[in-house]
Chain A
Amino acid sequence: MKARVHVSLKTGVLDPQGKAIGLTLANLGFTGLGEVRQGKLIELELTEDDAEAARKSVEEMCEKLLANTVIENYAIEFEDD
């Protein structure tokens, strides 16, 4: 199965890249935009078949490396092959 890990900056953490994207979108004429935040998407291919074990393993990966929980949140999504 595949796992998708979405990593995003926590509320209150300054995101200058998101801000720059918002400004550029406004320059292009897009209106009605509030705050823009940029995150990361990490796709993982897993050989584990057991959904519960896979979730546990990916959560551990997030805590140990994929996200820095001082500044980032993460969300995990699974997709069957």
Chain B
Amino acid sequence: MKASVVVFPGSNCDRDVQVALSNCIGGPVEMAWHGDSELAPTDLIVLPGGFSYGDYLRSGAMSARSPIMREVVARAKQGVAVLGICNGFQILTETGLLPGALLPNAGLKFVCRDVQIRVENSQTPFTSQYEQGAVLRIPVAHHDGQYFAEPETLAALRERDQIAFRYDDDNPNGSVDDIAGIFNDRKTVLGLMPHPERAADGLHGGTDGLGLLQSLVAALS
């Protein structure tokens, strides 16, 4: 399985996710620079967490218009798996690959702590290693994590099982319907605010994020 992590100016979880994925795959993970317009053939594209372009204008707004994103959108439309974590989720909504938008947290504070999230759909390439309804402990670290979508969009998300994860009991950012992550219609694109790569090694204090990466390896190898 080949995986690529896109590096934007201001990404800061690119190496973490590279290491975590590489450990799961048992081989190297490519890094791709945002300014390139070409991307080597790959089975998985990861848009990592961070504060690309300093969150100028809106989180993810500039990165979504980076040269490489044209290629990412084209590959996503061909069915290549795309995973957006935190800032990556914001970038995915800004490109339109995922519906809705991410607003500043309702409490106006940067939230950096472990949260409990519930697996809402385990029948996807991103979540097959989890039990349906399993509750995971994974860290969040964001200022703009409040998921918002119009009622019609939300209804469509629910109907098509596109809600990947919900915050369990404790919603850290005011997200509508406690949404922590969503899929596209085909379940080939996932965006989520929590950081699975920060719960992927015993030394992290938890390994609940590993299942997501292992699901991808199982599906794409």
Contact surface of A with B, Cβ cutoff 8 Å: 13-14, 16-17, 20, 64-66, 68, 70-71
Contact = CB atoms under 8 A, between A and B. Distances in A.
Given A13-B148, A14-B148, A71-B101, 6 more contacts: A16-B108, A17-B104, A17-B108, A65-B65, A68-B101, A70-B99
A16 B105 contact: yes
Given A66-B57, A68-B94, A70-B93, A16 B106 contact: yes
A50 B149 CA distance: 38
B65 A68 contact: no
9 contacts: A14-B146, A14-B174, A16-B104, A16-B105, A64-B65, A65-B61, A70-B149, A70-B150, A71-B103
Interface of B: 57-58, 61, 65, 93-94, 99-101, 103-108, 146, 148-150, 174
Binding site of B, secondary structure by majority: helix, strand, loop or mixed? loop
Given A65-B61, A68-B58, A14 B101 contact: no
Contact of B103 (A13, A64, A66): A13
A64 B65 CA distance: 9
Nearest to B62: A65
Contacts of B65: 64-65
A67 B58 CA distance: 9
A17 to B, nearest CB: 7
Nearest to A16: B108
Nearest to B106: A16
Contacts of A70: 93, 99-101, 148-150
Contacts of A17: 104, 108
Contacts of A64: 65
Nearest to B176: A14
Contacts of B57: 65-66
Contacts of B58: 68
Given A66-B57, A71-B101, A14 B106 contact: yes
A23 B57 CA distance: 25
A16 B174 CA distance: 10
Nearest to A20: B108
Nearest to A42: B57
The list of the 5 closest CB pairs from A to B, nearest first, reads: A70-B101, A71-B101, A16-B108, A16-B106, A68-B101
